[in-house]
Every structure is written in C-alpha cells, then in structure tokens.
Amino acid sequence: MVDLRSDTVTRPTAAMRAAMMAAPLGDDVLGDDPSVQALEAAVAALLGKEAALFVPSGTMANQLAIRLHTEPGDEVILEASAHPYLYEAGAAALISGVQLRPLPGVRGQLSPDALRAALRAPDPHVAPFRLLCVEDTANRGGGSVHPLDALDGLAAVAHGAGAATHLDGARLWNAVVASGVPAARRVAGYDTVSVCLSKGLGCPVGSVLAGPRALLQGRGRRMRKALGGGMRQSGLLAAAGLYALEHHIERLATDHARAARLAEGLAAAGFPVRPPETNMVYVRVADGPAAAAQLAGAGVRCFALSADELRLVTHLDVDDGGIDHALRAFAGLPRP
C-alpha cells in the first residue's frame, strides 16, 4: 500500500525511535523537561524568535496564537482556504470568540494589495481587525510557496493597520527547502509562528509555537494548560522533533522531486495536474470519490477533495517504487 493521503501518515524511523528512547526526561508542566527545553530553544533559534512553546498539534498552536493576539469580538483576516478557517472545527469562535474574515486569494495566497483593499476604517458597527493569519506553504493552494515580498508586504500592511501577525507554518520547512530562503528570514515580519513536526518531518506528534518570550511564557503557558496541552514527560516526543530538525529538513527536497515526477507522469498519462511547488500534487479525474476508491483497491490511498480532484502528498515513507506503483494504478482510471 502506498499512502499518499498526507505527510502526517509517516512513522518514526529506527534512528528517530532510538533518539526518543535515549531522551532525558522531566515534567514539562513543571518546566523541567530538558528535551522539551532543547527543542523549544532550537525552534526559536531557527525562526529567529525569542522563545517557543511545544504543543500537541498544529491546530492547538494556531488557536493559541489567535487567543494570545485577540479578545472576544475581534476580527481575524485570513485567506479563504486557510487551515484555521476550514479545518480547525470552529475553534476560533469556540475558544477565542473572534470573527474570522476569509478573503479570496490565488493558490491559497493573499496579496498585500488585496489585504489593503479589504481594510475598513474604525467604525463601531464592525469588528476591529486585530490579527492576520498567513499559511505558508498553502495547503489548498497546492502546497504553494509565498514569494518573500508577499510575506513581507502582508505583514507590513497588517502592522500598519495596528494588527498582529501570525504565520501558520505547518509546512514552513517545505517552503524553506523549495525557496532556499532561511526560515528566520521568511517569518521575520510575523509576531508568532507555528510549525509542525508531524508533517513531512516524520515525527509521531507535535508542533511548536514561537514568538515573544513574555507572551509565550506568561499567557501562552497558561492557555496551553487551559486547552489541555500541558504534557508531562513529553521529552519523548520532543526528542523526535530534535532528531527531525537535524536530519529530516534537507531531505524534503527528495519529496519535492518525487512529487514533480508523479505530476509529470500523470500529465503524460492524460490527467490535468497542478504543477507542484513542494510535496503536493492536485490532479483532476473524472469522478473524485470513485477514483479514490478504485485507487485504494489498487494499493494507493489518497483523498478526494472535490467531485473531480484528488490530492496526493509525497513524504518520508514514499520511495521511488511507490511513485511507480501510483502511476501504474492511475493508468486504470478513466480520464476526465
């Protein structure tokens, strides 16, 4: 079975498991797990931020950021296909009492001009704009990588309007490898940044929220506890993250190359494909759900995202043979 549903399906490598078992442990809720402290320091340094906070999931990291930057009744602007809007179970309303305002973008990305045009003058009739959320790479944009000037421009517009900025970097590592721009430079304009360790990097669990030390070590730790994110001997998980940061970032280029080869093979076979920028291939088929079911029967798992489009994601557990197998399975599908 070749599992192309997501880069979250990876299993820890033998070397990662060994690192986990060897990790020094403490109680992170009490602030004394050395492996968690090492991971937080490493991520903060990579992102050029003062501090970081280890959390169980990317959703929690994003929702912590929203809660830390807003008060109930505030407005959060984001692109219409962004993860906090589509895939986080209404948590922004449930936890923070804020209004999400989705704006249409291109390939999952807003332009600074589009954001500027959407801003409204202060008015007691409208929710005040307090936070901009940007997703890089943009999942529903096909794993698209924001141009650096767009990231900088969006942050500048938001800050100019008095709002804070948060970057949902669930797949920021892919953007770094694809663009060649270091993570700290890509996120320089963002007050907080969340990154996943369980997407692409092969870790079993975990995300990290980075930002100002006073914010994260004060309200951040309190809100993490309130949301159930305080874990005890979580150094077992943090050790996997430390191993991944050292060994699994540069190898993402291999995932990108395999996604490109998969896309080229599908296009040659007559399937319309969005050219991938990173590790995601969006391909149009005659019937999305039926195609996904037929592929599963042939040993290829993927998600149908619409009536006529599939998403295929390459990752650590898909090798060249897996790409060949997927292309053979697609050969049996009707063309759109």
Tokens 């980075």 found at:
210
The answer on 221 and 169 residing in a single domain is yes
pLDDT band of residue 141 (cuts 50, 70, 90) is very high
Report if residue 37 sits inside a domain.
Answer: yes
Rg (C-alpha) for the chain, rounded Å, is 20
The answer on 199 and 321 residing in a single domain is no
The answer on 66 and 188 residing in a single domain is yes
The answer on 283 and 307 residing in a single domain is yes
pLDDT band of residue 85 (cuts 50, 70, 90) is very high
Q: Which of 216, 247, 278 is the last residue of a domain?
A: 247
Q: How far is Cα 42 from Cα 38, in angstroms, rounded to an integer? A: 6
Instruction: Identify the pLDDT of residue 327.
Output: 98
CATH number at residue 293: 3.90.1150.10
Read off the pLDDT of residues 57-79 as tens digits, 9 standing for 90 and up: 999 999 999 999 999 999 999 99
pTM for the full predicted model = 0.96
The answer on 259 and 219 residing in a single domain is no
Read off the pLDDT of residues 273-300 as tens digits, 9 standing for 90 and up: 999 999 999 999 999 999 999 999 999 9
The 3-state DSSP class for residue 303 equals strand
Per cent of the chain over pLDDT 70 is 100
* Structural domain containing residue 58: 14-247
The answer on 230 and 256 residing in a single domain is no
DSSP 233: S
Report if residue 170 sits inside a domain.
Answer: yes
Q: Which of 230, 247, 264 is the last residue of a domain?
A: 247
Q: Which of 247, 267, 294 is the last residue of a domain?
A: 247
Q: How many domains does the chain have?
A: 2
Report if residue 85 sits inside a domain.
Answer: yes
Q: How far is Cα 290 from Cα 174, in angstroms, rounded to an integer? A: 30
The answer to whether 200 and 174 have CB atoms below 8 angstroms apart is: yes
pLDDT band of residue 182 (cuts 50, 70, 90) is very high
Helix (H) or strand (E) holding 280: strand 280-284
Q: How far is Cα 246 from Cα 242, in angstroms, rounded to an integer? A: 7
